[in-house]
């Protein structure tokens, strides 16, 4: 997975063309033969193919991109978007959880509290970060930092990127369900603006436990779901290999999330995905955070909280027939 | 001739008497056969073994509230199919089947009533309805029950039993965690008590929201309660699970619930608690 040339199955035709292009370029340099027309032709082909592949991604392909091992993680964005990030550690009760990083930082001139779910870049790092699956301590640390932010009037920015909260014995013993529930409740009434961005995987309650916000955004090649496609496939199809089917059925792509009003905006990624251009991806996120915080900061606390409550209150699709008879 | 010849068996057919199938139930704990009427009178708890059978929402409400004090609300709230979910079976078909089986519109029954003459807003989950999974309709009913408590300044009681969020409604079911918990934040702010009762089983999304947010959390004996399913934990960690893992008793020992109360004592326990908490709030109330 650490291979620099890591290529997803559906990206293979594109990689082939890119290889051809490189060969042509080196040939033209060495032999001084003019192949510029051929190069232009291949470049055109590449652009067309890119547009074709990345604008028509299936739900499952998007899941694969969201898990791409080269994809930028929270810390990659934090170092590009903020300055003077000072990571703070521990929940003051049990331990530190490296699957969640957080601390105060500057967004240009404004001080903010930034908290992100953090995956590891290699095996060693992943053991430390628990593959981005937080334990209860992580959620409690996040809450501690958010309360600190409220105390000092700092807006909160959270980055969401987790397959889910860790399903472990210790996690249950220390009550991960309660840690998430408390975060959800307290974030719904935290007295400072909150902006959340799904930058990779938005895995169920483990994601929501840090994503109750005034504005929730998601990057183009991400998903945010009630259950992992593999989990859904295991339950409904009795086969984890049916994950691509489950991914379609769950309608968790950014387009659907926007339609269901679960997210407020979809942030475009550089062509080919955020992993192709960290700087560009970070720039786009930074602009979105700045714009949203500027709007949110103008609101009074009561208006902010009232709107946040209403944002979640209206979510869900049901019928209310006002009748008292079961029709069946 | 062999001395021990094959004995001759004759098949005797006894005409079965017409015994109604649902007259007796076997206790899964002791194997004891128990008369259904006795079981029902004892709130679906086997008297000798203390085994708690599941209880449907209406029987639960009848067991907790005063006489005919219950006034049901939100009867018209029912699930839609926002995802047009069609996996191995259509969601709409599953809904219809559950509605036919339970005669309920969805997995939650809610309304107002009194317990020991103390007014309460109550919501009860019915596990028979698609494992009492939490979809938009159930989430709306729970939220309205909380808001009703806030509006009427009366305590809120939620009896949970659920496999978690309703997968067939995708991300919208996950959002019910936020909707219900946000309403509880307001209830808490107003100083109105919320008592959460956990019954077998209460898992996943429901545990990661309102079920874990009670001022007092009461579990029924030997209920399965947790976030991740035991099989998932076992597969992920490759570890053997401790004895009694994720049972009410395990949670009590780890300090995660306030008490374990047998079903037959639940009503009295609630009355005591509500009397304690109500002493000062009733003056503020209407």
pLDDT on residue B87: 83
Q: What is the DSSP string of A76-128?
A: HHHHHH-BS-------SSS---TTEEEEEEEETTEEEEEEEE---SSHHHHHH
Per-residue pLDDT averaged across B77-99, rounded?
A: 93
Select the residue of B167, B189, B236 nearest A227 (Cβ to Cβ): B167
**Which of B77, B228, B241, B246 is the mutation pick for testing A, counting most A CBs within 10 A?**
B228
Chain B residues inside the 8 Å CB shell of A313? 143, 179, 182-183
**Which of B166, B227, B236, B244 is the mutation pick for testing A, counting most A CBs within 10 A?**
B227
C-alpha torsion A84→A90→A91→A95, nearest 10 = 170
pLDDT on residue B106: 95
CA angle, A296 then A305 then A214, to 5°: 45
Please, which residues bridge with residue B218 across strands? B197, B259
Å from B111 to nearest chain A CA?
13
Kindly state the DSSP code that residue B24 receives in the 8-state scheme: E
**ipTM of predicted complex:** 0.92
Chain B residues inside the 8 Å CB shell of A245? 87
Q: For residues B38 and B116, give the distance between their C-alpha atoms in angstroms, rounded to a whole number.
A: 25
Contact of A257 with chain B, judged by CB distance below 8 Å, is answered with: yes
Select the residue of A185, A226, A256 nearest B173 (Cβ to Cβ): A226
pLDDT on residue B12: 66
Q: For residues A176 and B203, give the distance between their C-alpha atoms in angstroms, rounded to a whole number.
A: 12
Select the residue of A172, A309, A325 nearest B228 (Cβ to Cβ): A172
C-alpha torsion B177→B181→B183→B189, nearest 10 = -170
Q: Say whether B226 and A177 touch across the interface (CB within 8 A).
A: yes
Sorted by where each begins, the domain ranges of chain A are 9-56, 63-318
Which residues in chain A (262-301) have CB-CB distances under 8 A to chain B?
A: 262
Q: For residues A239 and B30, give the distance between their C-alpha atoms in angstroms, rounded to a whole number.
A: 35
As to burial, measured by CB atoms within 10 angstroms (0-12 exposed, 13-18 middle, 19+ buried), residue A240 is middle
Q: For residues B24 and B80, give the distance between their C-alpha atoms in angstroms, rounded to a whole number.
A: 38
Looking at per-residue confidence, does B282 or B53 come out higher?
Answer: B53
pTM for this prediction = 0.92
Sorted by where each begins, the domain ranges of chain B are 21-53, 55-281
pLDDT on residue B283: 42
Query: Per residue in A12-48, is it b (16+ CB within 10 Å) or e — as a string?
Result: eebeebbeebeebeeeeeeeeeeeeeebeebeeebee
pLDDT tens digits, chain A, 328 residues: what are they?
334 457 888 888 888 898 989 888 888 888 877 888 888 999 899 888 888 888 888 999 999 999 999 999 999 999 999 999 999 999 999 999 999 999 999 999 999 999 999 999 999 999 999 999 999 999 999 999 999 999 999 999 999 999 999 999 999 999 999 999 999 999 999 999 999 999 999 999 999 999 999 999 999 999 999 999 999 999 999 999 999 999 999 999 999 999 999 999 999 999 889 999 999 999 999 999 999 999 999 999 999 999 999 999 999 999 998 754 444 3
Quick one: angle between helices A59-66 and A229-236, nearest 10?
130
**Which of B84, B89, B174 is the mutation pick for testing A, counting most A CBs within 10 A?**
B174
Q: Is the dihedral of CA B56, B58, B63, B64 positive or negative?
A: positive
C-beta atoms surrounding A287 within 10 Å: 12
Q: Say whether B100 and A328 touch across the interface (CB within 8 A).
A: yes
Q: For residues B42 and B1, give the distance between their C-alpha atoms in angstroms, rounded to a whole number.
A: 63
pLDDT on residue A328: 36
pLDDT on residue A324: 47
Q: For residues B61 and B50, give the distance between their C-alpha atoms in angstroms, rounded to a whole number.
A: 20
Q: For residues B286 and A258, give the distance between their C-alpha atoms in angstroms, rounded to a whole number.
A: 42
Contact of A249 with chain B, judged by CB distance below 8 Å, is answered with: yes
Superfamily of domain A63-318: 2-enoyl-CoA Hydratase; Chain A, domain 1 (3.90.226.10)
pLDDT on residue B284: 44
Q: For residues B174 and B172, give the distance between their C-alpha atoms in angstroms, rounded to a whole number.
A: 5
Confidence band for B19, pLDDT divided at 50, 70 and 90: low
Q: Say whether A204 and B88 touch across the interface (CB within 8 A).
A: no
Alpha carbon separation from A6 to A67, A73, A92, A199, B176 (Å, rounded): 12, 17, 40, 19, 38
Q: For residues A80 and A152, give the distance between their C-alpha atoms in angstroms, rounded to a whole number.
A: 24
pLDDT on residue B228: 95
Quick one: angle between helices A176-187 and B170-189, nearest 10?
70
Q: What is the DSSP string of B170-187?
A: HHHHHHHHHHHHHHHHHH
> Quick one: which of A224, A214, A190, A196 has its CA closest to A102?
A196
> Quick one: which of A206, A218, A280, A210 has its CA closest to A254?
A218
pLDDT on residue A325: 46
Superfamily of domain B55-281: 2-enoyl-CoA Hydratase; Chain A, domain 1 (3.90.226.10)
Beta strand B33-35 with B108-115: parallel, antiparallel or unpaired? unpaired
Q: Say whether B210 and A188 touch across the interface (CB within 8 A).
A: no
Q: For residues B137 and A321, give the distance between their C-alpha atoms in angstroms, rounded to a whole number.
A: 12
- The two three-digit tokens of residue B51, written as one number: 């085994």
CA angle, B6 then B11 then B17, to 5°: 155
A15-29, A124-138, B152-166, B262-276, range with the lowest pLDDT: A15-29
């Amino acid at each position: 997975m650490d291979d620099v040339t890591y290529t997803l199955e559906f990206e293979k035709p594109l990689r082939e063309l890119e290889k051809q292009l490189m060969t042509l370029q080196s040939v033209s340099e060495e032999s001084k033969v003019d192949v510029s027309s051929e190069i232009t032709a291949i470049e055109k082909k590449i652009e067309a193919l890119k547009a074709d592949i990345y604008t028509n991604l299936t739900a499952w392909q998007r899941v694969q991109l969201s898990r791409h091992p080269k994809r930028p993680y929270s810390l990659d964005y934090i170092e590009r978007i903020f300055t003077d990030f000072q990571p703070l550690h521990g929940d003051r009760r049990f331990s530190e959880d490296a699957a969640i990083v957080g601390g105060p930082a500057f967004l240009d001139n404004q001080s903010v509290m930034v908290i992100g779910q953090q995956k590891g870049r290699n095996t060693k790092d992943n053991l430390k970060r628990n593959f981005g699956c937080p334990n209860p301590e992580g959620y409690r640390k996040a809450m501690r930092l958010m309360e600190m932010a409220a105390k000092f009037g700092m807006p909160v920015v959270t980055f969401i990127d987790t397959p889910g909260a860790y399903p472990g014995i210790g996690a249950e013993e220390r009550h991960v369900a309660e840690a998430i529930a408390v975060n959800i409740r307290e974030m719904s009434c935290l007295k400072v603006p909150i902006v959340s961005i799904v930058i990779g995987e938005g895995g169920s309650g483990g994601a929501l436990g840090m994503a109750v916000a005034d504005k929730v955004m998601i990057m183009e090649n991400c998903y945010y779901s009630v259950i992992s496609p593999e989990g859904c496939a295991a339950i409904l199809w009795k086969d984890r290999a049916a994950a691509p089917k489950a991914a379609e059925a769950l309608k968790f792509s950014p387009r659907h999330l926007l339609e269901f009003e679960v997210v407020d905006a979809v942030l475009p990624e550089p062509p080919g995905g955020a992993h192709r251009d960290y700087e560009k991806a970070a720039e786009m996120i930074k602009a979105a955070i700045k714009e949203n915080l500027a709007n949110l900061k103008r609101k009074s606390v009561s208006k902010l909280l009232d709107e946040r409550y209403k944002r979640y209150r209206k979510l869900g699709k049901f019928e209310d027939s006002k009748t008292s008879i079961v029709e069946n | 001739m062999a001395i021990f010849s094959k004995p001759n068996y004759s098949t005797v057919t006894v005409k079965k008497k017409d015994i109604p199938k649902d007259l007796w139930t076997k206790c899964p704990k002791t194997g004891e056969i128990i008369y259904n009427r006795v079981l029902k009178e004892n709130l679906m708890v086997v008297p000798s073994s203390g085994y708690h059978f599941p209880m449907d929402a209406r029987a639960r409400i009848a067991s907790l509230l005063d006489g005919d004090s219950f006034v049901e609300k939100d009867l018209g709230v029912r699930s839609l199919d926002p995802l047009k979910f069609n996996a191995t079976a259509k969601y709409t078909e599953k809904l219809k089947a559950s509605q036919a089986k339970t005669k309920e519109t969805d997995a939650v029954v809610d309304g107002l009533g009194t317990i020991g003459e103390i007014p309460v807003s109550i919501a009860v989950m019915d596990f028979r309805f698609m494992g009492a999974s939490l979809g938009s309709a159930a989430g709306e009913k729970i939220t309205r029950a909380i808001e009703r408590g806030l509006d009427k300044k009366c305590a809120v009681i939620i009896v949970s039993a659920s496999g978690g969020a309703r997968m067939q409604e995708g991300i919208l079911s996950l959002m019910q965690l936020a909707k219900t918990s946000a309403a509880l934040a307001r209830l808490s702010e107003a100083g109105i008590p919320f008592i959460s009762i956990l019954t077998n089983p209460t898992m996943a999304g429901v545990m990661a929201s309102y079920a874990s947010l009670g001022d007092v959390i009461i579990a029924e004996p030997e209920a399965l309660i947790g976030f991740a399913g035991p099989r998932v934990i076992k597969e992920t960690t490759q570890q053997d699970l401790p004895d009694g893992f994720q049972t009410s008793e395990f949670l009590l020992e780890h300090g995660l619930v306030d008490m374990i109360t047998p079903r037959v004592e639940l009503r009295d326990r609630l009355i005591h608690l509500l009397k304690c908490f109500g002493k000062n709030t009733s003056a503020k109330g209407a």
